[in-house]
């Protein structure tokens, strides 16, 4: 019986539009979360797949010792593609010429991701190949051909074997972005390693196993692999390596995650407001049912069924619209990126449905309980039940709901806690400010019959409602300003790191005698360079007289000295310099002076790695010579710049007596390539490292990320606008009553319209002002903590925020009630009835 009545009431209210507000809010939450989740998921997969080319695979297993072949067999059984790489350095001979080069022995399946480009002649264009050197063949980088003075097709000797130099290596997908690594690449087939007889006990060899496939298969394989991994083995992906592309990907991922979390907050606010408004509109029907003998249990069943039906319909509607929107957006983004986006996983669907159901239940349960407590006497005294206050339990439940939804979406408790706490603090501050601002309005001496007076009076009358509206407006504006400014700062930071004239090559191994003629050569041909840095190889041997632990060989069963101080188990590239490099920031201590003697400046991560502080003394070992240097400064280094950077810089007096080679970065335009090649022919011992392809891939990734960020931002802007609409909609009934009263008292239509416009203008201006200040302060924290950007204030948004907030809220609010104001008094009374 009650079910039949519930369905009739539901049908009537649905036709009257009573359920549209809460239905739209739930659908909004679902479609927002689904669209954001699916688009970010698909774009994230696309960027990750494209970026995997930087390591030629999805994942890499690295070791300085031989890796078991069982790993590859197991991976292949789990549908993963595999490849092998072996690195070692050796001499290459051609007639009377010789050259030290870096050998890269690859399996036939290399590379798993990315493209290998070669040239058939030194002067021909690079082409993509899906092959690797055949047995008996060797592919060499251009500089090796110049150093050995040979052409394609010449014979060269590598260890005990003779090879044909059949190709020129132009680009490797996994070329290391390390300017100190050898650019003298020698590419051979792994089946030729034994023939060279180069690898002997004690040889310095590096082994890599490459893996590619579905993420689920990779996760399954790693779960099997992890317990068997040794201390000298490392499993990593592209985002695990310290490089500009890894930093860009991590920043983009953090931004998309942040935007999604803020979108959830806005959607939750819309549902909370709409649920409370819907229940308030049901006070009179509930009172009527109680006077007609309806029991509390029957009424509870009726409205719980209504809630279930609304939730189901809204979730389905939100899923349909959200899926359609993400398809449209993904197609557009795919065309813009020039690639096909992968299919989204099941996670966005789960998160979207969970968001809709959880929001509908958790934000509606307390208003529904209040609805069931409406007294039957309300049919006679219409004000009974109007002042049911929001309980602490409801606030706690709502806060817990938002926190759980953010945690579900981000799967990161730290980011969730930071955003949730900052948002909660913002709400408390805004509520206090709203009380202060609206309370202060009573002291203004405004004349009767004035639109401004009527607007102030309306704000004072609905102080509590307007406080909630102000919080919602300010929160929405704050989040929008926050994301817009953060997006611009991120892209500006990326572009500043990679300007159009960024260096695209490095010159390494320049001797003192070659420094002046090479500098002149580049200057005469207008090839801009960074500073030339001297380099001496050395290691940190002791700290304050205490020896540091050296690198041990697990293969030779050497044991680590547990009592030795932690240090760096390899040689470092040391340099000296009188001035602080431009891409470095001094964060502690003082830089060298003319009178500095035996001083050292450390990069901040090196300071932590060595566990030292200012004033400590480091002992360096270069060959058989040792010397001490006192730490006098700490630097923050921007590793994303395409310029030489160093962990340790020494004062000029320390290293000037040691023989050194020099390094610099240079910008070579396309029409200068031949002249640059002539320089390499003149100085065959100088290594040139081309990073042009690396720069192109970084810029391509940044463009994709920028498109993704722009779309996500558009969704959040739309979500923010809908939150504002839901807030205005919530007060529409009360505003209709005021219009009827004012018209009855003889107020002119122009006075009412202006008063309404001014009221929204004041609310929007106040919300925009508070939002601008709070968002700017929050940006300082988030930029440093989450994005490693230089935090700075943005005074311009302190003007834009109030202006945009006042204009946007005023226009939006006025447009929403314009139809109401066009109705005559009789029509308004019928709508209220």
Q: Which two tokens stand for residue 318?
A: 């939100």
> Which range among 355-369, 544-558, 606-620 shows the weakest confidence by mean pLDDT?
544-558
Query: 210-242: buried (b, 16+ CB within 10 Å) or exposed (e) per residue?
Result: bbbbeeebbebbeeebeeeeeeebebebbbeee
Whether the Cβ atoms of residue 787 and residue 251 lie closer than 8 Å to each other: yes
* Per-domain boundaries in the chain: 2-49+247-496+698-832, 56-236, 530-666
pLDDT at position 338: 65
> Which range among 103-117, 301-315, 325-339, 716-730 shows the weakest confidence by mean pLDDT?
716-730
pLDDT at position 240: 64
For the chain, the average pLDDT equals 77
The predicted-structure confidence for 633-646, as pLDDT tens digits, reads as follows 999 887 767 788 89
pLDDT at position 826: 61
pLDDT at 307 > cutoff 90: no
The residue whose two tokens read 């930087």 is 54
pLDDT at position 561: 44
SS3 content of the chain, % helix, strand, coil (to 5): 55, 15, 25
- Residue 174 half-sphere exposure, CB side, CA atoms within 13 Å? 24
SS3 assignment for 486-554 = HHHHHHHHHHHHCCCCCCCEEEEEECHHHHHHHHHHHHHCCCCECCCEEEEEEEEEEECCEEECCCCCC
If we measure between CA atoms, which residue out of 672, 667, 699 comes closest to residue 505?
667
Task: Provide mean pLDDT across the span 725-739.
Answer: 67
Whether the Cβ atoms of residue 364 and residue 275 lie closer than 8 Å to each other: yes
Residue 601: pLDDT band with limits 50, 70, 90: very high
582 vs 422, which has greater pLDDT? 582
> Which range among 142-146, 178-182, 285-289, 741-745 shows the weakest confidence by mean pLDDT?
178-182
pLDDT at 353 > cutoff 80: yes
| Range list of H helices, 671-794 | 673-682, 692-730, 732-744, 749-785
- Distance CA(62)–CA(133), nearest Å, equals 22
Task: Provide mean pLDDT across the span 181-209.
Answer: 84
Q: What angle do CA 322, 326, 331 make, to 5 degrees?
A: 155
pLDDT at position 292: 79
Task: Provide mean pLDDT across the span 102-106.
Answer: 92
Tell me the C-alpha to C-alpha distance, in Å, between residue 650 and each of 87, 480, 594, 621, 634.
32, 47, 13, 13, 12
By the 10 Å C-beta count (0-12 exposed, 13-18 middle, 19+ buried), 413 is classed as: exposed
pLDDT at position 446: 47
pLDDT at 718 > cutoff 60: yes
pLDDT at position 45: 72
- Distance CA(180)–CA(687), nearest Å, equals 10
- Distance CA(230)–CA(67), nearest Å, equals 10
The predicted-structure confidence for 7-28, as pLDDT tens digits, reads as follows 877 777 766 655 676 777 788 7
The predicted-structure confidence for 206-261, as pLDDT tens digits, reads as follows 999 999 998 889 999 999 999 988 888 889 887 665 555 555 556 666 666 666 66
Task: Provide mean pLDDT across the span 530-558.
Answer: 73
pLDDT at position 82: 95
- Distance CA(83)–CA(78), nearest Å, equals 15
Residue 365: pLDDT band with limits 50, 70, 90: confident
pLDDT at position 237: 83
pLDDT at position 176: 63
Whether the Cβ atoms of residue 767 and residue 809 lie closer than 8 Å to each other: yes
If we measure between CA atoms, which residue out of 410, 402, 644 comes closest to residue 510?
644
> Which range among 392-401, 517-526, 656-665, 716-725 shows the weakest confidence by mean pLDDT?
716-725
> Would you list the DSSP string of 608-655?
HHHT--TT-EEEEEETTEEEEEEEEEEEEE-TTSSS---SEEE-HHHH
Whether the Cβ atoms of residue 108 and residue 132 lie closer than 8 Å to each other: yes
pLDDT at position 560: 43
Helix (H, G, I), strand (E, B) or coil at 754: helix
Would you give the DSSP letter of residue 174? T
- Between the ranges 39-53, 209-223, 339-353, 637-651, where is the mean pLDDT highest? 209-223
By the 10 Å C-beta count (0-12 exposed, 13-18 middle, 19+ buried), 495 is classed as: middle
- Distance CA(218)–CA(80), nearest Å, equals 7
Whether the Cβ atoms of residue 103 and residue 90 lie closer than 8 Å to each other: yes
Task: Provide mean pLDDT across the span 160-179.
Answer: 82
Q: What angle do CA 720, 724, 726 make, to 5 degrees?
A: 115
pLDDT at 379 > cutoff 70: no
């Amino acid at each position: 019986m009650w079910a039949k009545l519930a369905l009739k009431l539901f049908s009537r209210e649905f036709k009257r539009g009573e359920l549209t507000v809460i239905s739209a809010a739930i659908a909004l939450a679902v479609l927002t979360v689904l669209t954001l989740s699916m688009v970010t998921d698909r774009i994230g997969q696309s960027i990750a797949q494209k970026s995997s080319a930087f390591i030629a695979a999805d994942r890499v297993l690295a070791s300085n010792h031989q890796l078991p072949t069982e790993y590859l067999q197991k991976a292949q059984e789990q549908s993963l593609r595999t490849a092998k790489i072996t690195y070692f350095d050796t001499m290459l001979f051609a007639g009377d010429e010789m050259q030290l080069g870096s050998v890269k022995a690859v399996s036939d399946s290399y590379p798993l991701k990315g493209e290998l480009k070669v040239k058939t002649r030194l002067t021909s264009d690079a082409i993509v190949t899906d092959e690797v050197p055949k047995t008996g063949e060797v592919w060499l980088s251009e500089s090796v051909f110049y150093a050995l003075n040979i052409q394609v097709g010449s014979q060269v000797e590598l260890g005990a074997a003779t090879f044909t130099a059949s190709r020129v290596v132009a680009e490797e997908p996994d070329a290391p972005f390390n300017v100190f690594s050898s650019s003298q690449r020698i590419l051979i087939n792994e089946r030729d390693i034994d023939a060279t007889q180069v690898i002997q006990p004690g040889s310095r060899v590096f082994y890599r196993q490459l893996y590619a496939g579905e993420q689920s298969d990779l996760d399954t394989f790693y779960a099997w692999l992890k317990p068997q991994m040794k201390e000298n083995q490392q499993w990593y992906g592209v985002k695990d390596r310290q490089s500009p592309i890894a930093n860009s990907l991590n920043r983009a991922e953090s931004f998309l995650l942040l935007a999604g979390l803020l979108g959830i907050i806005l959607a939750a606010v819309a549902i909370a407001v709409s649920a409370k408004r819907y229940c308030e509109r049901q006070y009179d029907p509930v009172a009527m049912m109680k006077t007609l003998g309806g029991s509390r249990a029957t009424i509870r069943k009726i409205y719980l069924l209504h809630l279930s039906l609304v939730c189901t319909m809204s979730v389905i509607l939100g899923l349909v619209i959200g899926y359609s929107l993400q398809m449209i957006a993904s197609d557009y983004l795919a065309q813009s990126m020039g690639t096909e986006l992968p299919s989204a996983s099941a996670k966005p669907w789960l998160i979207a449905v969970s968001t809709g159901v959880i929001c509908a239940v958790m934000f509606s349960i307390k208003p529904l309980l209040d609805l069931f407590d409406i007294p039957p006497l309300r049919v006679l005294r219409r004000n009974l039940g109007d002042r049911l206050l929001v309980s602490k339990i409801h606030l706690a439940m709502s806060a817990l709901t938002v926190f759980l939804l953010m945690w579900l979406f981000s799967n990161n408790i730290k980011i969730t806690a930071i955003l949730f706490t900052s948002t909660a603090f913002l709400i408390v501050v805004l509520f206090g400010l709203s009380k202060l601002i609206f309370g202060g309005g009573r002291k203004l001496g405004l004349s009767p019959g004035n639109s401004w007076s009527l607007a102030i009076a309306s704000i004072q009358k609905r102080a509590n409602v307007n406080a909630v509206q102000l919080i919602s407006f300010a929160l929405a504006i704050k989040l929008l300003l926050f994301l817009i400014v953060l997006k611009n700062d991120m892209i500006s930071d990326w572009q500043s790191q990679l300007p159009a004239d960024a260096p695209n090559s490095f010159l390494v191994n320049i001797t003192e005698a070659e420094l002046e003629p090479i500098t002149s050569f580049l200057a005469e041909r207008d090839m801009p360079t960074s500073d030339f840095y001297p380099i001496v190889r050395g290691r940190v041997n002791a700290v304050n007289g205490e020896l540091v632990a050296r690198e041990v060989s697990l293969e030779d069963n050497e044991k680590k000295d547990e009592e030795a101080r932690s240090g760096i188990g390899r040689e470092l590239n040391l340099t000296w310099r009188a001035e602080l490099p431009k891409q470095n920031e001094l964060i502690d201590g003082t830089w060298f002076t003319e009178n500095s003697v035996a001083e050292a400046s450390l990069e901040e991560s090196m300071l932590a790695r060595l566990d030292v502080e200012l004033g400590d003394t480091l002992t360096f070992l270069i060959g058989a010579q040792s010397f001490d240097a006192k730490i006098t400064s700490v630097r923050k280094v921007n590793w994303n710049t395409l310029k030489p950077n160093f962990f340790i810089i020494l004062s000029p007096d320390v290293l000037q007596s040691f023989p050194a080679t020099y390094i610099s970065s240079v910008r070579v335009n396309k029409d200068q390539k031949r002249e640059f090649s002539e320089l390499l022919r003149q100085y065959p011992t100088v290594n040139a490292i081309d990073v042009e392809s690396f720069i192109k891939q970084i810029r391509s990734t940044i463009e994709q990320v920028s498109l993704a960020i722009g779309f996500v931002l558009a969704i959040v802007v739309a979500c923010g606008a809908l939150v504002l609409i839901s807030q205005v909609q919530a007060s529409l009934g009360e505003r209709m009553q005021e219009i009827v009263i004012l018209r009855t008292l003889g107020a002119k239509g122009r006075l009412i319209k202006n008063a309404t416009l001014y009221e929204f203008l004041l609310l929007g201006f106040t919300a925009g002002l508070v939002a601008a200040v709070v968002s700017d302060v929050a940006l300082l924290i988030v930029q440093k903590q989450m994005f490693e950007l230089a935090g700075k204030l943005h005074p311009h948004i302190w003007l834009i925020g109030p202006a945009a907030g006042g204009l946007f809220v005023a226009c939006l609010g006025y447009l929403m009630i314009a139809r109401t104001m066009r109705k005559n008094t009789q029509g308004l009374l019928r709508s209220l009835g």
